[in-house]
Amino acid sequence: MSEQVHHHPLLYTYRRCPYAMRARMALLQASVGFDAYEVVLRDKPREMLEISPKGTVPVLVLPDGRVVDESLDIMRWAFQGGNQEDEGWWQRSDTPANRTLIELNDGPFKQHLDLYKYTQRVAETDPAFHRDEAVSCLLRVLEQQLAIEPYLGGREPCAADLAIFPFVRQFRAVDPGWFDALPLKATQQWLQGWLDSELFEACMKKVPSGLRVQF
C-alpha cells in the first residue's frame, strides 16, 4: 500500500454497528479521505485498545496522532475540522429540536431498541413493550418534525439525519412488515430515501476484516 494512504485518518469500524455507520457516512459526505479497519469484535486489535480502552467502535486516529473515539465527535470533526466547507451539514443539525432528537435516539430509544432486538440477552423481557416504547419516545417525535420538512435540516439534510438514520434502520429491520404498517409515513419515506442513497451504499461497502482499506 502506498505511503500516501497512511497520511489519511484511520477509522476502526464495524460495518453493521450504527455508531460506526454514522461516522462513516459523515466522513464520506464531508469528502474526508480515510482508511477503514474492519474490526472483528471477538478479536479486537491491540492497537485500538491501547489508544481507546473503552474497546468500542468507532475510533478515529487523525494523522497528527489525536484520537476521537465517540461517534458524534467524529461527525463533528468531519464536518467542522476535516472539511472546512461542509455546506452547513453540522450547522443545520445544531438546533434545540435536533439536539433533543439525538439525545432521545442515543438514550431511551437505543435502550428500548436493544431490549426489543436482543430479547434473548435479558430474561423476562417483553419485546412488544420495548418496541412500543421505542416508537413513543423517538419515532413519534421524529414523525412530527419530518411531516413539516423532508429532512431534519429542513429542505436540506444535515448531520442529525445521519446520526439517527442507522438506528431507525436497525429498528425497522427487526420486523419490517410491522414497521411499514405504522402510521409514520414521513419517517418511513425519510428512512427509505436514506436506504436508497448513494451515500449509504458507499458507507456499506464490504471490506476484508483486519486490513486497512482506503475509502
User: pLDDT digit string (tens) for 64-76?
Assistant: 999 999 999 999 9
- Distance between CA atoms of residues 41 and 43, nearest Å: 5
Q: So what's the pLDDT on residue 103?
A: 98
pLDDT at 214 over 80: yes
pLDDT mean across residues, the chain: 93
**Cβ of 196: how many Cβ atoms within 10 Å?**
9
Q: So what's the pLDDT on residue 95?
A: 96
Q: So what's the pLDDT on residue 120?
A: 66
Query: 119 pLDDT band (50/70/90 cuts)?
Result: confident
- Distance between CA atoms of residues 73 and 60, nearest Å: 10
- Distance between CA atoms of residues 214 and 148, nearest Å: 38
- Distance between CA atoms of residues 177 and 154, nearest Å: 28
Q: What is the pTM of this model?
A: 0.93
- Distance between CA atoms of residues 7 and 12, nearest Å: 15
pLDDT at 122 over 70: no
Average pLDDT over residues 139-155: 97
Residues with Cβ within 8 Å of residue 147, at least 6 apart in sequence: 186
**What DSSP assignment string belongs to 73-94?**
HHHHIIIIII-S--TTHHHHH-
Is the N-terminal amide bond of 176 cis, ω within 30° of 0? no
